[in-house]
Amino acid sequence: MALMKRRSSRPHERKAMVARGEITLAEINSQPGLWAEALQVFKAQAHEITSFWSTNAFDQIILTGCGSTYYLGVTGASLLQAATGTPARAISASELMLFPDKTFHNSIQTLLVCLSRSGTTRETVEAARLFRQFGKGSIVVITCDSSSPLAQLADRLLAIDAAQEQSRVQTRSFSSMAVILTALAAALGGQDWQSLDALPEALTRLMGRSESLIRHLGEDLSITQFAFLGSGPLYGLACEAMLKMTEMSRVFSTGYHVLEYLHGPRYAADASTLIAGLVSESAFTEEVQALKTLLSRRARVLALAEANSEGLGELDFALTIDSQLPEWGRAILYLPPLQLLGWHQAIQRGFDPDDLAYDPRDQPIP
């Protein structure tokens, strides 16, 4: 008989004690402190991880997870390949579980990076087990539960248990694992990963600076469709923002590469659409030009960018990140304001992000 991992405390059991959505809101706001802890987790193992990498000649890197953590893998693959030069890609754990022989080969030295908040996700645990059977190489696990079944399968474990949530919605767990993954990519690629120590303070500044705009857009019920756009490592974060908006507010949302949105999906945009563009530094000109063309659809356009550079003023809204970090180190900063956007939309529509109908952590452990 399959066992269930059941959390000891449920948001709906505490409804009389807290206001609607307050647990999720507190967890969103706790991210600066958790990011600092995540960096300490990585710092404690940085030397061992880099030695492990240098003594293994990996031919490829595969990142895997489900839902949010699959999108985290998409972002991580972009960062890891850019930093190390080793081919990296994200594959859904469900695909690896169902078709392991289509991906795993015992002739290819592979680093499998498994991502899971709970460490009990059935598909991800099974993908790791099947890798031992069909593949060749090592497993790195990034999770928020160091005692989980997935953690037990790791050759190298990076766990930030403090980032686990009471809410069913992944917010701080996702971003804390993203900080560890960003540090991992930087360290393996010889970049100055310790410059990421500036991330927590950069996030604190950003959340304070963005609060008014995010609240304004979050309380606007005339918006009935969201499109989140990003390229490179920002694409995975755009998809995660889409998922957060869908889970919390139940408003129709999509996630696309910036330029890909122009090839068909833009025709669904209208005056009731908010398009949020996560603008990169490397492709700034192309991406801003693409966002400008969307104004003709009468959609409202929000751009998030490192600096308030030329062209952003022509859009409806602009939010500057102003992190002063290298481009590879700042990606995760784009996400928390969009998490908060989803939270405001949910509360305004009468939904409770603390108490979704389904909790992905409640499932059989293989």
Look at residue 309 in the predicted model and tell me its pLDDT: 84
Contact between 213 and 238 under an 8 Å Cβ cutoff? The reply is no
Please state, as a whole number, how many other Cβ atoms lie within 10 Å of the Cβ of residue 293. Answer: 12
Give the DSSP letter string of 257-291. -TGGGGTTGGGG--TTEEEEEE--STTHHHHHHHH
Q: What is the pLDDT of residues 330-343, one digit of tens each?
A: 999 999 999 999 99
Q: Which residues contact 223 (CB under 8 A, 6 or more apart)?
A: 217, 251, 272, 273, 274, 300, 345
Give CA–CA dist 169/160, Å, rounded: 17
Look at residue 8 in the predicted model and tell me its pLDDT: 40
Give CA–CA dist 144/364, Å, rounded: 18
Residues of the chain above pLDDT 90, percent: 89
Give the DSSP letter string of 29-92. HTHHHHHHHHHHHHHHHHHHHHHHHHTS--SEEEEEESTHHHHHHHHHHHHHHHHH-S-EEEEE
Per-residue pLDDT at 132 exceeds 80? yes
Q: What is the pLDDT of residues 145-175, one digit of tens each?
A: 999 999 999 999 999 999 999 998 999 999 9
Look at residue 310 in the predicted model and tell me its pLDDT: 82
SS3 161: helix
Contact between 140 and 112 under an 8 Å Cβ cutoff? The reply is yes
Classify domain 3-191 at the CATH topology level: Rossmann fold (3.40.50)
Taking the alpha carbons at both ends of the chain, their separation in whole angstroms is: 10
At which residue do the structure tokens 């833009």 appear?
Answer: 266
Q: How many CA atoms lie within 13 A of 252 on its CB side?
A: 8
Q: What is the pLDDT of residues 16-40, one digit of tens each?
A: 567 899 999 999 999 999 999 999 9
Q: What is the pLDDT of residues 265-279, one digit of tens each?
A: 999 999 999 999 999
Q: What is the pLDDT of residues 295-330, one digit of tens each?
A: 998 999 999 999 988 889 999 999 999 999 999 999
Q: In what order do the strands lie in the sheet with 156-159?
A: 88-92, 60-65, 109-116, 136-143, 156-159
Per-residue pLDDT at 6 exceeds 50? no
Give CA–CA dist 272/285, Å, rounded: 26
Average pLDDT over residues 119-133: 96
User: Mean pLDDT, the chain, as a whole number?
Assistant: 93
Residue 134: DSSP 8-state: H
Look at residue 23 in the predicted model and tell me its pLDDT: 96
Per-residue pLDDT at 13 exceeds 90? no
Per-residue pLDDT at 357 exceeds 80? no
Look at residue 4 in the predicted model and tell me its pLDDT: 39
Q: Does domain 199-352 have CATH number 3.30.465.10?
A: no
Look at residue 242 in the predicted model and tell me its pLDDT: 98
**CATH 3.40.50.10490 location in the chain:** 3-191, 199-352
DSSP H stretches of helix in the chain: 22-29, 31-54, 68-84, 93-98, 122-134, 149-152, 172-188, 199-218, 233-249, 284-293, 327-330, 335-348
- Three-point CA angle 129, 56, 125, nearest 5°: 15
